[in-house]
Amino acid sequence: MSNTPRAWAGITPEHSTPGEFALPRPAPGAPNVVLVVLDDTGFAQLGCFGSAIATPHIDALAASGLRYNRFHVTALCSPTRACLLTGRNHHAVGMGYLTDIPTAYPGYTSRLPKSAAAMPRLLRDAGFNTFAVGKWHLVPSGERSHAGPFDRWPLGIGFERYYGFLQGDTNQWAPNLVRDNHYVEPPRRPEEGYHLTEDLADTAIRCVQDQKHAAPDRPFFLYFPLGAMHAPHHVAPEWVEPYRGRFDGGWERLRAETFARQLELGIVPDGTELTRRPSWVQDWDGLSADERRVYARFQEVFAGFLTHTDVQIGRLVSFLASIGELDNTLLMLVSDNGTSAEGGQSGTFNEHRFTLALPDTIDENLARLDELGGFRSYNHYPWGWAWAGNTPLRLWKRYTWLGGIRTPLVVHWPDGFAARGDVRAQFVHAIDVMPTVLDACGVEAPATHDGVTQQPIDGSSIRATFDDASAPDPRDVQYFEMLGSRSVYFRGWKATTDHVSKGVADEERLLEGSRDFATDRWELFSLADDFAEARDLADEHPDVLARLQDIWLVEAARNQVFPLVDDLVGRFTSVLPPPNPPAARVVFRAGGSPVPDDSLPRMFGGFRLIASVETPAAPAVADGILCALGDWTNGFAFYVRDGVLVFALNRAGDVRMVRGSAPVPQGARALACHYSLDGGGPAVTLLHDGEVVASAALDVPVPMFWQHGGTALCLGYDRGFPVCDDYEVPFAWNGVLHDVVVEVGRELPPDPGAQLRAALTAE
CB 41, CB 229: distance < 8 Å: yes
Cα gap 388→395, rounded to integer Å: 10
CB 72, CB 431: distance < 8 Å: no
CB 427, CB 489: distance < 8 Å: yes
Closest CA to 183 of 602, 719, 679: 719
Q: Which residues pair with 72 in a beta bridge?
A: 406, 429
Please state, as a whole number, how many other Cβ atoms lie within 10 Å of the Cβ of residue 19: 12
Paired sense of beta strands 493-497 and 522-526, if any: antiparallel
Alpha helices in 494-582 (DSSP H): 505-510, 542-558, 568-572
SS3 category, 301 = helix
Q: Containing H/E element for 178? A: strand 177-179
SS3 category, 384 = helix
- Name the residues annotated as catalytic: 77, 137
SS3 category, 255 = helix
Cα gap 617→639, rounded to integer Å: 18
Q: Which residues pair with 585 in a beta bridge?
A: 743
CB 230, CB 39: distance < 8 Å: yes
Q: Containing H/E element for 544? A: helix 542-558
CA angle 744, 750, 755 (to 5 degrees): 95
SS3 category, 692 = strand
Cα gap 21→562, rounded to integer Å: 47
SS3 category, 74 = coil
Q: How far apart are the first and last CA of the chain?
A: 53
Alpha helices in 407-463 (DSSP H): 433-441
Tell me the residue length of the chain: 763
Crossing angle of the two packed helices 196-214 and 289-322, in degrees rounded to 10: 10
CB 224, CB 35: distance < 8 Å: yes
SS3 category, 37 = strand
Please state, as a whole number, how many other Cβ atoms lie within 10 Å of the Cβ of residue 608: 18
- What is the residue-wise DSSP string for 597-610? GGGSPP-TT-EEEE
CA angle 159, 416, 319 (to 5 degrees): 55
